[in-house]
Structure 1
Amino acid sequence: MKLTTTGDQPFRICQLTDIHLGATPLNDASQQTLAAIDRLLASQSFDLIMLTGDLLWGKEVQRPDQTLTALYDTLNQYPIPVAVTYGNHDGEGPYTRAKLRELESLIRYPADKHHSMVINDRESYTLEINRDDRLDNVLYVWDSGAYAHWPSEEQYAAIEPEQIDWFYRLPYARTVDQVDLGFIHIPLPEYKLAANNIVTGGQNEPICSPETNSGLFYSLKRTGNVKALFAGHDHDNNFTGTTRGIDLNYGNVTGYNTYGTLPRGARTISVWSDHYETDVVLFPTAD
């Protein structure tokens, strides 16, 4: 589906992250997650649902097709475009990322991807927001991978150099006048700097970023168009911090079937031509 808005209306994004659905038949916690997502989507209006990884609870899920069918059936009730990137746990089961991407065919209203590039089974792509039939904002999506190439030295993967080169080669006008956003699962190392300047939300666990800094943040700073990044991964962090003029945001943990003391919910993002706003919304309680 094409991503559109009109006039001075904001383009509204719902970021769901760390859903961590388990094996089928779904346990009570996973069913609670789907019911909460359903109530949220029924109560608010969105123009895009952005899933930022760890949809699945890793090796526990031996039939990812069945579990993802349950998730996508919930989302398919609403005519809202859906986009996906994956986390470190999604590929721990029997399905590769390529196979998981094939299952995106189960999404009834997939968001239109542009400039897709796959390296090491990690897909980077863009989403284009059109306002009154004119390209207004670009959303950059990087699959941040899973685990490092050098497991004895560090745990989590860094953004690959080819993914940064892909960003530079895209045919967009990247200037400081743009208000573009980025989405990943594993936070960049610069999130540790942003934690020193938290604007909203909180840090309640260490930032589990890669040790290797492959330079994506520098690239974003250099081009100036991406004003904010949105990550997941650390379930007890949901802050918005800022460093060197770029906002580094966590989503809010969505799934009940996983660790974390934060109340479950989502992050909402409203994008205009010249600015964006974001907030955490907690799930409505059942009637």
Structure 2
Amino acid sequence: MQLRLNSNETFKICQLTDIHLGASPLIGKSQQTLAALGKFLSVNSFNLIMITGDLIWGKLVKDPQAVLYKLYDLLNKFEVPVAVTYGNHDTEGKFNRQNLRNLESHLIFPADKHHSFITADRENYTLEVFRDNGELAHLIYVWDSGSYSKWQNKEEYAAIEPEQIEWFNHLPYKRAASSIDLGFLHIPLKEYQLATEKIIQGKKKEKICSPVTNSGLFYSLARKQNVKAIFAGHDHDNNFIGEYRGIKLGYGNITGYNAYGTLPRGVRVIELMNDCFKTETQLFE
């Protein structure tokens, strides 16, 4: 499904993150999550739903199709394009990321992916947002940040792979420092720790659970200058937006009730405009 600006030249994104649905049949807090999300989407309009990982508890879910189809059936009720990337908990079961990506075919309104690139079972892709005249207005970059480190005796979480950075560096887009583009992933970059020195909005209620290894994606972002913000999930008790070297580094807001965290559940809303973007969290009732 092609992404297009609203008539007023804006583009509104709903970021869902850390939904953490449990085993089928869904009961308790998993049902509570779907009910709250359905109610929220029924009274709010968006141009894109971006899901940034940990859709399910992989260790608990034996049948990911049964569980994810419940989520996708809900999203299919709304004519809004949906894009997905995955987190560390999604593939803790006996299924891999390719298995989960295959289930995305159940979405009736998938967002059009461009320049899809898979390495180490992680899919990276872009989403293109167009004006009515066919001109490219904004780019959204999606990185699958993986799950756990190959060297877990040294660090817990995986770093972005060098091939994923090379993918970004060699995309055929001509973007400028004046462009208003965004990125999404699940596990925050190491630079999020530096961004806590300049928190603009939101709350930091737990440590930044980033990889120990800094594989260099932020350097490429800073050099190209078109990506104005990156949004992650992963840390349930963080929903802040910080800034480091002119790039906003922020979190979504935990969506799922079936997980740890004291923050109220909800979503992050991001609105892209011609020369800036604005963002806020919106909580479930």
TM-score by shorter chain over 0.5: yes
SS in 1 for 2:197: coil
Deviations 1:34-57 (A, max 9, x none): 011101111110000000000001
Matches within 5 A, 1:3-82: 3-82=3-82
Deviations 1:251-279 (A, max 9, x none): 00000000000000000000012111100
Residue 251 of structure 1 is matched in structure 2 by 252
Residue 145 of structure 2 is matched in structure 1 by 144
> Match for 1:196: what amino acid?
E
SS in 2 for 1:175: coil
Deviations 1:153-196 (A, max 9, x none): 10000000000000011011122011100000000000001111
Residue 170 of structure 1 is matched in structure 2 by 171
Shift of 1:95: 1.3
Shift of 1:6: 4.2
List structure 1 runs of 4+ shifted beyond 6 angstroms.
none
Aligned partners of 2:276, 2:199: CA distance in 1, in Å?
Answer: 19
Aligned partners of 2:70, 2:7: CA distance in 1, in Å?
Answer: 36
Aligned partners of 2:182, 2:137: CA distance in 1, in Å?
Answer: 12
Shift of 1:9: 3.1
Aligned partners of 1:16, 1:22: CA distance in 2, in Å?
Answer: 16
| TM-score, length of structure 2 as denominator length | 0.98
Shift of 1:7: 4.5
Q: 2:136 matched to 1:111?
A: no
Structure 1 residue ranges without an equivalent (≥5): none
Aligned partners of 1:176, 1:151: CA distance in 2, in Å?
Answer: 38
Q: What do you get for the CA RMSD once the two structures are aligned?
A: 0.7
Aligned partners of 1:90, 1:152: CA distance in 2, in Å?
Answer: 22
Q: Is the 8 A contact 2:9 2:274 kept in 1?
A: no
Aligned partners of 1:222, 1:8: CA distance in 2, in Å?
Answer: 31
Aligned length: 284
Deviations 1:47-82 (A, max 9, x none): 000000000012100110000010001100000000
Q: 2:198 matched to 1:197?
A: yes
Q: 2:284 matched to 1:274?
A: no
Structure 2 residue ranges without an equivalent (≥5): none
SS in 1 for 2:46: coil
